[in-house]
Structure 1
Amino acid sequence: MAFRNLTRSLFQLTKRTNINQRLYSSIQYSQQYRKFEITQRYFSIRKFSSIQTNDNAYRDLDTFLQKEIQLENTAQKHPTQLPNIQDFQVETKGPEVTLTRQVGDDKITVKFNVTNTVNTSESEQEVELNATEQQANNAPTQLKSRPTFTIDINRGNQILSFLCSYLPNEDPDTRNQHGGIENEQKPDGEQGHFLEDFQIDEFAIHEGEWNDKVYSSDCSVIDGDLYDKLLNLLEEHGIGEEFANQLSDFSTAYEHRQYIGLLEKLQKFVKK
């Protein structure tokens, strides 16, 4: 009896093992079959030959650029020679501009970049005034570049540095009271234009480069008399209202050239 029970137990164990093997085998087969079915089902959909390059966008852009570059070249105020900045030597490298001059023992260096400087400080009233004049004269929109710029006065082994920006154009009546706008009639009957002016945002004294390790003062919190004397110092070194207007005129013309150059590079790119 004991032998039969042992035999039965072994038989049941063997049967259970075979069932498990069958179940395991069926699962494996089902997974393999399903994987094969999925692979076979979706493989034919991914065809690299169906991906094609569409040149219509390039051709359309090229056609537009041909007209746009021609219009921008026609709209240049200074197509052959850039405006002059009196008493300063000018060096350009890409969008960067460096102005230098010598005043006694002091070397003056002004640096600015024309990128993203067009109409950055134009007031709403000036926008409306310019729009009215352009509609009356049927003239194209004239953009103005007013870059932020730095001034270095190198004296001995130290440098007095200023960070400057253009003032937003105020109400014409207010600027007229301060002598900031010309209202007299021009020979051709045109009205005078807004004169540019700038403000000192920060100043510092340092040796070497002006970086985050150099303390600088925000001019909005310094004494008013000190601020006026700093402006007088810059004026004596040839950096005043007239300089601000000449710099803006130069920056406007040079920025326009850089923009046309960018369009020409884009045109060469789309023609490849």
Structure 2
Amino acid sequence: MRAVSSFRQISRVLNRLVISKQVAQTRNISKTMKLLTVQPELTAALKTEIEAEMKVESESLRGSPPPTIPGFTIATDDAEVKLTKMHGSEKIEVVFNVNHSVDMNDDGSDSVDPIALPPFSIEITKGDQRICFHMELVETDDGTFDYSVEEYYVAPAASKIGDDIPESVYASSGRYIDPKLHDLLFVRYLEERGFTQQFCSDLVNFATHYEHNKYIDLLRKIDDFVNKP
């Protein structure tokens, strides 16, 4: 009886091993089939998406070249955009990044075209110092655009390109400032240097076009990548 019992146990173990092997083989076959079928399906989906986005570009954005921002020289480095100009002896630099700058409708509605509202920074350099403002773009009740100052400070001028602000520099929130100073510094001082509602509209227009171009470029890069041998 013990011998029969032992034989049955060995038989059960062998059956389990066979079943496990069959399941593993089935999973491997399934994975292989998925690997073989996903590439053409993905390529077709990418092609459809690229064509749809290019149609949006031609119909809603009036072509692929992003518009200019009057008064500024524009330089781009992938997602980052830098605007520069001179105001007398002052060097003015605006920097923004279009990554995650488009806020899609939460309800999934396509009735309103998405727009890019990237936060941006302004640096005004004079001599060995620079005054800096970190800004947010806001849409007004009448459908135009304006800015709000989130933070501001004075720092040493950059000694080289990409020179970071020292962490020891004191910065203050733009939300807590005397109303008169707010009008003089955040409104009139910046308006004299070209930072008006029109500038905000021009920036939004440029950023929306540019972000859309970068999205199409990303889709093409993905298509090239997945189709590499």
The answer for the alignment partner of 1:134 in structure 2 is none
The answer to whether the Cα contact below 8 Å between 1:123 and 1:168 also exists between their aligned partners in 2 is: no
Instruction: Determine if the alignment matches structure 1 residue 197 to structure 2 residue 117.
Output: no
Deviations 1:164-200 (A, max 9, x none): 0012433xxxxxxxxxx4xxxxxxxxxxxx2111111
Q: How much does 1:83 deviate? A: 0.6
Q: For residue 217 of structure 1, what is the amino acid of its counterpart?
A: S
State the alpha-carbon separation in 2 of the partners of residues 259 and 89 from structure 1: 23
Q: For residue 73 of structure 1, what is the amino acid of its counterpart?
A: M
Deviations 1:53-86 (A, max 9, x none): 2222222221111111011111111434211100
Q: For residue 43 of structure 2, what is the amino acid of its counterpart?
A: D
State the alpha-carbon separation in 2 of the partners of residues 237 and 145 from structure 1: 23
Instruction: Determine if the alignment matches structure 1 residue 229 to structure 2 residue 184.
Output: yes
Q: For residue 114 of structure 2, what is the amino acid of its counterpart?
A: L
Instruction: Determine if the alignment matches structure 1 residue 257 to structure 2 residue 213.
Output: yes
Alpha-carbon spacing, 1:154–1:59, altered in 2? closer, same or farther (3 Å): same
State the alpha-carbon separation in 1 of the partners of residues 63 and 168 from structure 2: 43
State the alpha-carbon separation in 2 of the partners of residues 244 and 233 from structure 1: 16
Which of the pair has more CA radius of gyration?
A: 1
Q: Which moved more, 1:211-220 or 1:50-59?
A: 50-59
The answer for the alignment partner of 2:138 in structure 1 is 167
Instruction: Determine if the alignment matches structure 1 residue 42 to structure 2 residue 17.
Output: yes
State the alpha-carbon separation in 2 of the partners of residues 107 and 79 from structure 1: 32
The answer to whether the Cα contact below 8 Å between 2:65 and 2:209 also exists between their aligned partners in 1 is: no
Counterpart among 76, 80, 103 of residue 119 in structure 1: 103
Aligned with 2:145: secondary structure? coil
Bigger proportion of residues as helix: 1
Q: What percentage of aligned pairs have identical amino acids?
A: 29
Alpha-carbon spacing, 1:41–1:160, altered in 2? closer, same or farther (3 Å): same
Q: How much does 1:87 deviate? A: 0.6
Give the alignment's TM-score, normalised by structure 2.
0.78
Bigger proportion of residues as strand: 2
Aligned with 1:166: secondary structure? strand
State the alpha-carbon separation in 2 of the partners of residues 233 and 41 from structure 1: 80
Deviations 1:24-46 (A, max 9, x none): xxxxxxxxxx9xx9699738945
The answer to whether the Cα contact below 8 Å between 1:108 and 1:152 also exists between their aligned partners in 2 is: yes
The answer to whether the Cα contact below 8 Å between 2:64 and 2:209 also exists between their aligned partners in 1 is: no
The answer to whether the Cα contact below 8 Å between 2:64 and 2:213 also exists between their aligned partners in 1 is: no
Aligned with 1:202: secondary structure? strand
Aligned with 2:224: secondary structure? helix
State the alpha-carbon separation in 2 of the partners of residues 43 and 252 from structure 1: 59
The answer for the alignment partner of 2:161 in structure 1 is none
The answer for the alignment partner of 1:156 in structure 2 is 127
Instruction: Could you tell me which runs of 5 or more consecutive residues in structure 1 were left unpaired when the two chains were aligned.
Output: 1-33, 132-140, 171-180, 182-193
Give the alignment's TM-score, normalised by structure 1.
0.66
Alpha-carbon spacing, 1:152–1:39, altered in 2? closer, same or farther (3 Å): farther
Instruction: Determine if the alignment matches structure 1 residue 89 to structure 2 residue 88.
Output: no
The answer for the alignment partner of 1:147 in structure 2 is 118
User: How many residues align structurally?
Assistant: 203
Deviations 1:134-161 (A, max 9, x none): xxxxxxx521001100000000010100
State the alpha-carbon separation in 2 of the partners of residues 160 and 215 from structure 1: 12
Instruction: Could you tell me which runs of 5 or more consecutive residues in structure 2 were left unpaired when the two chains were aligned.
Output: 1-8, 159-163
Counterpart among 205, 213, 217 of residue 172 in structure 2: 217
The answer for the alignment partner of 2:6 in structure 1 is none
Aligned with 1:265: secondary structure? helix
State the alpha-carbon separation in 1 of the partners of residues 129 and 136 from structure 2: 23
